[in-house]
Amino acid sequence: MNNMLRTWIKDGLWAIVFAAVVAAVIRFVVGLGAGSGLNDATPWGMWIAFKLGFVALAGGGFTLAAVVYIFHLERFRPILRRAILMALLGYGSFIVSLIFDLGLPWHIYMPIISWQHHSVMFEIAWCVMLYFSVLVLEFSPVILEHPLFKHKFFQVILHGLHKAILPLVILGIVLSTLHQSSLGALFLIMPHRVHPLWYSPWLPYLFFTSAIAAGMMALVVEGFLVERWFKRGMHFDLLERLGAWVPLPLGLYLLLRLSDLFLRGVLPGALDGSWQSILFLTEILVCGILPIGLLAIKKVRESREGLLTSAILIIAGILSQRMSLSMFAMRQSTGLDYSPSLAETLIAFGIPAAALLIYLFFAENLALLGDEIPNPQATAKLRPLWMFSQDTPGRIIFARRSGLATFAIALILPAMLNLPISDTSANAVQPAIGWETLRIDGNQTGYIVDFPHVEHQERLTEQLGSKESACATCHHLNYPDDEATSCSQCHTDYYQPISIFNHTVHQKSLGGNVSCVECHETEHVRQSAAICQDCHETMTAQEGESVFNPFASSYKDALHRRCLNCHEQKAVELDKPELALCSTCHTYYESDQLQTNLP
Report the nearest approach of ligand HEC to the CB of residue 572 (Å).
12
CA atoms within 13 A on the CB side of 518: 14
Piece of the chain touching ligand HEC by CB under 6 A; list 72-80, 185-193, 392-400, 522-530: 522-530
Piece of the chain touching ligand HEC by CB under 6 A; list 218-226, 262-270, 466-474, 589-597: 466-474
Judged by CB under 6 A, does residue 255 bind ligand HEC?
A: no
Report the nearest approach of ligand HEC to the CB of residue 539 (Å).
6
Q: Do 233 and 226 contact (CB within 8 A), yes or no?
A: yes
Report the nearest approach of ligand HEC to the CB of residue 595 (Å).
11
Q: Do 457 and 436 contact (CB within 8 A), yes or no?
A: no
Cα dihedral: 591, 560, 431, 47 (round 10): -30
Binding residue for ligand HEC, selected from 142, 312, 449, 464, defined by CB under 6 A: 449
Judged by CB under 6 A, does residue 152 bind ligand HEC?
A: no
Binding residue for ligand HEC, selected from 270, 360, 585, 588, defined by CB under 6 A: 585
Binding residue for ligand HEC, selected from 530, 572, 589, 590, defined by CB under 6 A: 530
Q: Count CB atoms within 10 A of the CB of residue 14.
A: 23
Site for ligand HEC in 21-40 (CB under 6 A): none
Judged by CB under 6 A, does residue 525 bind ligand HEC?
A: yes
Report CA-CA distances (Å) from 300 to 224, 226, 303, 379, 442: 16, 21, 5, 41, 56
Q: Count CB atoms within 10 A of the CB of residue 458.
A: 13
Binding residue for ligand HEC, selected from 505, 522, 543, 575, defined by CB under 6 A: 505
Can you tell me the distance from the alpha carbon of 316 to that of 214, in angstroms, rounded to the nearest whole number? Answer: 9
Residues 6+ apart with CB under 8 A from 503: none
With 0-12 / 13-18 / 19 or more C-beta atoms within 10 angstroms meaning exposed / middle / buried, residue 346 is: buried
CA atoms within 13 A on the CB side of 63: 29
Judged by CB under 6 A, does residue 586 bind ligand HEC?
A: yes
Residues 6+ apart with CB under 8 A from 422: none
With 0-12 / 13-18 / 19 or more C-beta atoms within 10 angstroms meaning exposed / middle / buried, residue 527 is: exposed
Judged by CB under 6 A, does residue 77 bind ligand HEC?
A: no
Judged by CB under 6 A, does residue 518 bind ligand HEC?
A: yes
Report the nearest approach of ligand HEC to the CB of residue 571 (Å).
9
- Smallest Cα–Cα separation from 257: which of 267, 247, 248? 267
Q: Which is nearer to ligand HEC, 419 or 432 (CB)?
A: 432
Binding mask 407-446 for ligand HEC (x = CB under 6 A): -------------------------xx----x-xxxx-x-
- Smallest Cα–Cα separation from 53: which of 341, 352, 291, 329? 352
> What is the identity of the amino acid at 22?
V
Binding residue for ligand HEC, selected from 146, 393, 536, 594, defined by CB under 6 A: 536
Report the nearest approach of ligand HEC to the CB of residue 326 (Å).
23
Intra-chain end-to-end CA distance of the chain, in Å? 67
Report the nearest approach of ligand HEC to the CB of residue 32 (Å).
17
Residues 6+ apart with CB under 8 A from 281: 270
Q: Please give the radius of gyration of the chain, using alpha carbons only, rounded to the nearest integer.
A: 30
Binding residue for ligand HEC, selected from 417, 501, 595, 597, defined by CB under 6 A: 501
Binding residue for ligand HEC, selected from 2, 422, 542, 546, defined by CB under 6 A: 542
Binding residues for ligand HEC, rule CB under 6 A, total 87
Q: Which is nearer to ligand HEC, 72 or 524 (CB)?
A: 524
Report the nearest approach of ligand HEC to the CB of residue 546 (Å).
13
Can you tell me the distance from the alpha carbon of 58 to that of 355, in angstroms, rounded to the nearest whole number? Answer: 12
Report the nearest approach of ligand HEC to the CB of residue 34 (Å).
18
Can you tell me the distance from the alpha carbon of 401 to that of 327, in angstroms, rounded to the nearest whole number? Answer: 41
Can you tell me the distance from the alpha carbon of 300 to that of 281, in angstroms, rounded to the nearest whole number? Answer: 24
Can you tell me the distance from the alpha carbon of 285 to that of 271, in angstroms, rounded to the nearest whole number? Answer: 13
Report the nearest approach of ligand HEC to the CB of residue 529 (Å).
4
Binding residue for ligand HEC, selected from 489, 496, 528, 595, defined by CB under 6 A: 489
Binding residue for ligand HEC, selected from 34, 353, 363, 490, defined by CB under 6 A: 490
CA atoms within 13 A on the CB side of 13: 18
Site for ligand HEC in 553-582 (CB under 6 A): 553, 556-564, 566-567, 570, 576, 579, 582
Binding residue for ligand HEC, selected from 70, 255, 426, 535, defined by CB under 6 A: 535
Judged by CB under 6 A, does residue 7 bind ligand HEC?
A: no
Binding residue for ligand HEC, selected from 452, 528, 589, 595, defined by CB under 6 A: 452
Binding residue for ligand HEC, selected from 19, 343, 368, 487, defined by CB under 6 A: 487
